[in-house]
Amino acid sequence: MLTYSDVTIWNALDIFHEMRDTGVRFVGCKDVGLPKEKLRKLVDMMKNAGRTVFMEVVSESEEATLRSVRTGIELGVDYLIGGAFVDRCLPVVKETGIKYFPYIGKIVGHPCLLRGSIEDIVVDAKRVEKLGVDGINLLAYRYDGDVEKLIREVQRAVKIPLVIAGSIDSLERVKKMVDLQVFAFTIGGAVLEKKFSSGNTVRDQIVAVLNAIK
């Protein structure tokens, strides 16, 4: 994710150019941080490079979330992840061909945090699965409880895939995602903060992550 602190970074196009030869197939941004025309240029660049493009919706209000969903559709992203208000957003996404992985549980603040009991989060996971979403965007490492138990309980409760998003900031956590066999996970600010390698470039960080998941 070309993001930092839940905002698309101002130089996202330059950073994508630096990392485009690393072999990463999934690349994304947030719905906030850049004006629409720059987001359009970024999405077009990523798609033209053959990447699968994700947009994570972190807007807090219902109307802002709906606007972001419509923007993602207009830009032609492949996946819309995050965002609450599933009952309102799902009808907008249906029939577009875009995969929709909303948040579950109680989402608070920005950067987004996940709160509530594991039991309540599991109930919400079942609810959105029944509504017909394609998957779930789970803020597991933004949760203030037992992260591994949370992931495993949600995995047991639903048959749709999980994207684990937020605060995956160590190779240990990367390897945990592999062990748990999640569909995908997001990394953003930790790459810019050089958490994964002693190398000085974004490319060095991404290569270290790719090596860890082999």
Question: pLDDT tens-digit profile of 51-64?
Answer: 999 999 999 999 99
Predicted structure pTM score: 0.96
Mean pLDDT of 67-81: 98
Q: Give the CATH superfamily of 3-213.
A: Aldolase class I (3.20.20.70)
Task: Output Rg (C-alpha) for the chain, integer angstroms.
Answer: 16
| Domain range annotation of the chain | 3-213
Mean pLDDT of 70-90: 97
Please tell me the predicted confidence (pLDDT) of residue 95: 92
**Whether residue 137 has pLDDT greater than 90:** yes
Question: pLDDT tens-digit profile of 19-41?
Answer: 999 999 999 999 999 999 999 99
Please tell me the predicted confidence (pLDDT) of residue 14: 96
- Whether the upstream peptide bond of residue 35 has omega within 30° of 0, thus cis, is no
Question: pLDDT tens-digit profile of 159-213?
Answer: 999 999 999 999 999 999 999 999 999 999 999 999 999 988 999 999 999 999 9
Mean pLDDT of 4-33: 95
Mean pLDDT of 89-97: 96
Using the CB atoms, write b or e for 63-102: b if 16+ within 10 Å. Answer: ebbbebbebbbebebbbbbbbbbbeebbebbeeeebbbbb
Please tell me the predicted confidence (pLDDT) of residue 200: 86
Mean pLDDT of 98-123: 96
Please tell me the predicted confidence (pLDDT) of residue 205: 96
pLDDT band, residue 97 (cuts 50/70/90): very high
Task: Give the chain's length.
Answer: 214
